[in-house]
């Protein structure tokens, strides 16, 4: 019998707590467990574990697999990450997982002990909406009065623009003229393309000419043009909502799978344009479903497949389109990844995909956005990143340089997500890293104001200020408190600029969180006052080593006072203590 092999099997718990059992979470067996602590559940255990029959083959060894680094991680990232882990004396590596039979998911499994790193594996661990709700529960000290999950500040509109009934048109020329089309195409390339640069300008102009010259165009090309114009209308200073909604409805009809053209680069691009538009305007579920469909269209068209040309499933691709295909695939992954995280869903994975990153082009910053994708994909709860890897990734993201407001906001969104994971694990972030976190939040608030002033309704314009307030409240230091006023003023400014139900709800929720935080602080101060009032006549004069009264300077020179101040917010504004007369 191989004794050593048996000892390598992971230990299992006899019983998980009731909330983890009901939600099929991985419980660590603590009392309370970390899952219940992080999500505010009432952690309780059955008095006795339920009986279960021994399974066939339970004694045989299972294969342990370790997920290696994502193939899309750029060269040099992994050595930098290891260096960061060594710099902060943090453990490296990912958790190891074992194969499980699919039917085991239907039963309550014995749970794995939590290792020293404390991995977060829940689907909600990356969700800003879940974080905001848990913060509300914590501040209220109760979950009874908290409403169900709300995607607060997910974008500026949350489907409000779609409430007006669009006028359905059969063709694109019936909605607008060629001159209007070319003008709106210019708006698109000026305001949208620099961030999401996945369309070739020459190709778009050819499609416009063929559509209005009567030369015949495919439904995918027409849907692509509709997507471009709909986004241009959204970003235009002279918005025509009726035309915008008509174009969105026409694109949706043209992309209907029952009548659409076979999957191609044009159809994938049209679906991606629809995804971008819905991410900016629609409700979360509709936008997420569109992002999933986009990646399935890319997969069906074989746009990024690394399959051999001799394969029965390989499709011919124009090598001249490779840079556009990489950009379409990269932006589609970026949107699907973050919408999946927001909703606590599984992201779409395209097998055998070519993960070569696209090259930078003058006049756009799409590659800045896509360079964040490896870090975003690594945050998938299935990867089981260690706390050391998370801190190292946080430092790398903070050290990146992003040039334009939408790119800065994407960087901040990733940083806030990593910080949420670290906060939930109760890991203290080093002071120098925390200063960079606060610095990026401050820069992002300025980026939001710049976007509002320029009339650019990016989804992070609503999301980042609200999530910044949530993060600043949980950091709860003198430095973070100093940024709260600026962040709240930004949330109010966004509401003043757009006046939608989504922005009003976000502003109300932000003010409510601050009021709850204030009440909790006041309750803590009252507890301190009550304790001190119980002993009004007690006087313990401080004495030095010689028995004499201890003055302010002697107190500051004492080792315990210096240690106390060094580890508290008093160090930021401490003044010489009152001297004894």
How far is it, in rounded angstroms, from Cα 492 to Cα 514?
14
Task: Tell whether 125 and 143 lie within a shared domain.
Answer: yes
Which pLDDT score, from 0 to 100, does residue 377 have? 94
Beta bridge partners of 64: 98
Which pLDDT score, from 0 to 100, does residue 10 have? 45
How far is it, in rounded angstroms, from Cα 292 to Cα 332?
9
How far is it, in rounded angstroms, from Cα 68 to Cα 79?
14
Which pLDDT score, from 0 to 100, does residue 103 have? 40
Task: Tell whether 204 and 313 lie within a shared domain.
Answer: yes
Q: How far is CA 314 from CA 296, 298, 303, 308, in A?
A: 15, 13, 10, 7
Task: Tell whether 165 and 254 lie within a shared domain.
Answer: yes
Task: Tell whether 316 and 386 lie within a shared domain.
Answer: no
Task: Tell whether 202 and 304 lie within a shared domain.
Answer: yes
Task: Tell whether 297 and 156 lie within a shared domain.
Answer: yes
Domain count within the chain: 4
Which pLDDT score, from 0 to 100, does residue 461 have? 97
Which pLDDT score, from 0 to 100, does residue 539 have? 58
Read out DSSP for 95-160? --EE---GGGGGSPPPPBPP-TT-----GGGG-HHHHHHHHHHHHHT-SSSPPSP--TTSSSSTTG
Q: Which residue has the tokens 């580890």?
A: 567
Backbone angles phi, psi at 94, to 5 degrees: -115, 160
- The answer as to whether 258 is a domain residue is yes
pTM (predicted TM-score):
0.76
How far is it, in rounded angstroms, from Cα 443 to Cα 186?
29
Which pLDDT score, from 0 to 100, does residue 396 have? 97
Task: Tell whether 320 and 469 lie within a shared domain.
Answer: no
- The answer as to whether 342 is a domain residue is no
Task: Tell whether 126 and 209 lie within a shared domain.
Answer: no
Which residues, at least 6 apart from 500, have a Cβ–Cβ distance to it below 8 Å? 156, 157, 158, 160
Task: Tell whether 207 and 256 lie within a shared domain.
Answer: yes
Q: Which 3 state secondary structure label does DSSP give 519?
A: helix
- The answer as to whether 94 is a domain residue is no
Which pLDDT score, from 0 to 100, does residue 428 have? 84
- The answer as to whether 260 is a domain residue is yes
Which pLDDT score, from 0 to 100, does residue 410 have? 98
In which domain, by residue range, is 565 found? 550-581
Task: Tell whether 274 and 207 lie within a shared domain.
Answer: yes
Which pLDDT score, from 0 to 100, does residue 16 have? 83
DSSP alpha helices (H): ranges in 141-283? 178-191, 201-212, 219-235, 241-254, 265-281
Of 286, 304, 333, the one marking the end of a domain is 333
Which residues, at least 6 apart from 444, have a Cβ–Cβ distance to it below 8 Å? 408, 409, 411, 412, 464, 468
- The answer as to whether 239 is a domain residue is yes
Which of the residues in the chain have pLDDT under 70?
A: 1-14, 38, 40, 47-123, 141-149, 163-167, 216, 306-320, 537-581
- The answer as to whether 495 is a domain residue is yes
């Amino acid at each position: 019998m191989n004794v050593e092999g048996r000892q390598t099997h992971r230990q299992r718990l006899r019983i998980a707590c009731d909330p983890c059992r009901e939600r099929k979470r991985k419980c660590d067996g603590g009392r309370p467990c970390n899952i219940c602590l992080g999500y505010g559940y009432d952690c309780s255990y059955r008095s006795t574990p339920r009986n279960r029959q021994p399974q066939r083959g339970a004694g045989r060894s299972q294969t342990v697999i370790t997920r290696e680094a994502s193939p899309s991680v750029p060269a040099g990232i992994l050595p930098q990450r290891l260096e960061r882990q060594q710099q902060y004396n943090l453990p490296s590596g990912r958790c190891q997982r074992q194969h499980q039979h699919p039917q085991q998911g239907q039963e309550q499994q014995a749970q794995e002990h939590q290792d020293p790193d404390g991995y977060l594996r829940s689907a909600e661990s990356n969700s800003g909406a879940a974080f905001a709700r848990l913060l509300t529960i914590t501040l209220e000290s109760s979950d009874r009065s908290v409403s169900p999950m709300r995607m607060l500040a997910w974008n500026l509109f949350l489907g409000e623009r779609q409430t007006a009934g669009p006028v359905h048109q059969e063709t694109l020329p019936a909605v607008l003229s060629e001159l209007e089309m070319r003008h709106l195409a210019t708006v698109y390339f000026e305001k949208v393309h620099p961030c999401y640069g996945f369309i070739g300008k020459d190709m778009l102009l050819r499609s416009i000419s063929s559509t209005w010259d009567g030369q015949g165009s495919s439904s995918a090309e027409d849907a692509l043009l509709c997507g471009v114009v709909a986004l241009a209308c959204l970003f235009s200073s002279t918005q025509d909502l009726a035309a915008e909604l008509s174009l969105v409805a026409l694109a949706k009809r043209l992309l209907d799978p029952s009548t659409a053209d076979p999957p191609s680069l044009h159809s994938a691009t049209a679906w991606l344009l629809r995804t971008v538009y819905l991410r900016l305007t629609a409700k979360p579920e509709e936008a997420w479903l569109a992002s999933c469909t986009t990646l399935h269209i890319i997969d069906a068209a074989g746009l990024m497949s690394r399959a051999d040309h001799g394969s029965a499933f390989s499709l011919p691709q124009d090598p001249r389109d490779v840079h556009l295909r990489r950009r379409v695939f990269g932006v589609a992954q970026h949107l699907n990844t973050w919408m999946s995280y927001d909703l606590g869903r599984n992201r779409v994975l395209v097998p055998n995909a070519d993960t070569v990153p696209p090259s930078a082009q003058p006049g756009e910053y799409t590659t800045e956005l896509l360079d964040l994708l490896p870090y975003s994909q690594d945050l998938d709860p299935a990867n089981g990143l260690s706390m050391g890897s998370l801190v190292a990734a946080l430092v790398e993201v903070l050290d990146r340089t992003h040039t334009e407001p939408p790119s800065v906001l994407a960087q901040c969104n990733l940083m806030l997500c990593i910080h949420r994971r670290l906060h939930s694990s109760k890991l203290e972030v080093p002071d120098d890293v925390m200063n960079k976190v606060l610095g990026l939040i401050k820069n992002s608030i300025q980026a939001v104001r710049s976007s509002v002033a320029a009339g650019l309704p990016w989804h992070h314009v609503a999301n980042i200020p609200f999530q910044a307030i949530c993060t600043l409240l949980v950091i709860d230091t003198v430095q973070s408190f100093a940024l709260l006023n600026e962040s709240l003023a930004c949330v109010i400014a966004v509401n003043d600029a757009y006046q939608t139900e989504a922005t009003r709800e976000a502003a109300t929720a932000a003010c409510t969180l601050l009021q709850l935080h204030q009440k909790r602080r006041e309750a803590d101060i009252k507890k301190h006052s009550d304790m001190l009032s119980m002993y009004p006549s007690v006087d313990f004069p401080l004495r030095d080593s010689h028995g004499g009264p201890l003055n302010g300077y002697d107190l500051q020179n004492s080792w315990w006072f210096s240690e106390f101040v060094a580890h508290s917010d008093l160090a930021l504004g401490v003044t010489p203590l009152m001297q004894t007369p």
